[in-house]
Amino acid sequence: MRDHALKTLQDFVPKMGLHYASGRNYDQGAGRHTSVSCLSSYIRRRLITEEEVVAQALGNHGLDGAEKFIQEVFWRSYFKGWLERRPSVWHSYRSGLRSDHETVQTDRALRMRLTQSEAGETGIACFDAWVDELLDTGYLHNHARMWFASIWIFTLSLPWRLGADFFHRHLLDGDPAANTLSWRWVAGLHTRGRAYQAKAWNITKYTNLRFNIGDADLADPIAPLDYSEPDGLPRIQRIRDVVTPKPDVPTALLISEEDCSLDAFALSDLNLVGAATISASHLRSDLPVADHVTQFEREALGDTVSRLGLQADHLTATGSNELARWATEAGAKQIATAYIPQGPLHDWFEAAAPALNAKGIALCEWRRPWDEVIWPHATAGFFKVKKQIPKVLESLELY
């Protein structure tokens, strides 16, 4: 799978400059997304890393030539860092989503609108086509995601969290931070008071006239959803510390889809007594997650084990005692894994912590330099991170 990701990367390298800058906003339709890289599902799992992708862009086009492409790579890292600094936003999303699901069960009109929308039966041609593409392929162009979310919230009058959940259950590149915060951005919650409005002319132009809809099909004007959080954004928190693995301690290596390039870490220095992959796609939602998402995760984890040349058990993130049981049976005193950022897997690890502590097993994580240098700047809007891009690239010796 990494080999396929690398080939996809190499095929797109010539397009990372002017081609991307001029064509990136055009949604060409399913199977025709040639102006964007379609690397997101691989980057999300770090089957290829942000550094690898940016290094190719810089080496072939320079910082100025590949500016737009590099900024897009930084957006995902910005979102992840932002959510690390405000973890309560993630917890608020999850609790609010449970409440929304409960409301769906008692509100018949809402349930009917939701069912029609998720089936692509709204009568809004572009929206229905994007539903079909999402369900069939697990992918949508970024511009289509923005239009989709805006129509969902403001035209169809559906709760934004239900839309975010719909995406997270079906997107191959579904990422807790990028997905949640992108929906909040469209709703006017991320950048307070500024919602994103889907406009007929914009959709018509950037779908190359595939959807020639009228202004009457879309809500206008729209009002940001600030009222749903009257106290505004929570305070920024410091990035949590990590305990890194010690080389002389019996260690169980745990591989999750959060990072499938563990060869970047000093595995040979560890006293490995066991290894396992852990499936966690089902944690994305209380509702069923698309088969193509769980299959992609399974293949990514299998590919990682194969490349590392390991014999590995396979765990599924279910009961909170499972991790402690596995590590104890392996004779481990520490579990080593790549950093687990805010999201459903992190929530599961927190639930598993008491059982690990009771057995005297330390949970240790590696956090990548890429994240270390970007996340401290992810405290407000993207512009603050954007200004730091040259310095970040220089500090990572990429520029």
pLDDT digits (tens, 9 = 90+) for 151-176: 999 999 999 999 999 999 999 999 99
Rg, Å, the chain Cα set: 21
Per-residue confidence (pLDDT) for residue 105, from 0 to 100: 96
Alpha-carbon distance 203 to 356, whole Å?
Answer: 51
313: phi then psi, degrees, rounded to nearest 5? -75, 170
The strands making up 313-316's β-sheet, listed across from edge to edge, are: 313-316, 271-279, 250-255, 334-338, 362-366
pLDDT exceeds cutoff 80 at 232: no
Confidence of residue 192 (pLDDT cuts 50, 70, 90): confident
Q: What is the DSSP string of 112-125?
A: HHHHHHHTT-SS-H
Tokens of 325: 């049981």
Mean per-residue pLDDT, 126-143:
98
Per-residue confidence (pLDDT) for residue 251, from 0 to 100: 98
Alpha-carbon distance 133 to 29, whole Å?
Answer: 8
> What share of the chain has pLDDT > 70, as a percent?
99
C-alpha 178 chain-centroid distance: 5
The pTM of the full predicted model, rounded to 2 decimals, is 0.96
Residue 3, burial from CB neighbour count under 10 angstroms (0-12, 13-18, 19+): exposed
pLDDT tens across 269-326, in order? 999 999 999 999 999 999 999 999 999 999 999 999 999 999 999 999 999 999 999 9
Non-local CB neighbours of 219 within 8 Å, separated by 6+ positions: 151, 154, 155, 197
Non-local CB neighbours of 52 within 8 Å, separated by 6+ positions: 9
Alpha-carbon distance 284 to 79, whole Å?
Answer: 17
Per-residue confidence (pLDDT) for residue 277, from 0 to 100: 98
Confidence of residue 220 (pLDDT cuts 50, 70, 90): very high
Query: Half-sphere exposure of 243 toward its Cβ, with a 13 Å CA cutoff?
Result: 9
Tokens of 312: 């590995």
CB atoms within 10 A of CB 311: 7
Confidence of residue 399 (pLDDT cuts 50, 70, 90): confident
Enumerate domains of the chain plus CATH numbers. Answer: 2-84+373-395 (1.25.40), 93-228 (1.10.579.10), 250-366 (3.40.50.620)
Mean per-residue pLDDT, 92-110:
96
Ranges of H-type helices in 315-343: 322-330
Per-residue confidence (pLDDT) for residue 233, from 0 to 100: 83
CB atoms within 10 A of CB 377: 22
Confidence of residue 71 (pLDDT cuts 50, 70, 90): very high
Amino acid making up residue 59: G
- Indicate the SS3 state at residue 274: strand
pLDDT tens across 108-118, in order? 999 999 999 99
Q: What's the first-to-final CA gap in the chain, in angstroms? A: 28
Tokens of 302: 């299998």
Q: What is the DSSP string of 152-177?
A: IIIIS---HHHHHHHHHHH-TT--HH
Alpha-carbon distance 269 to 388, whole Å?
Answer: 34
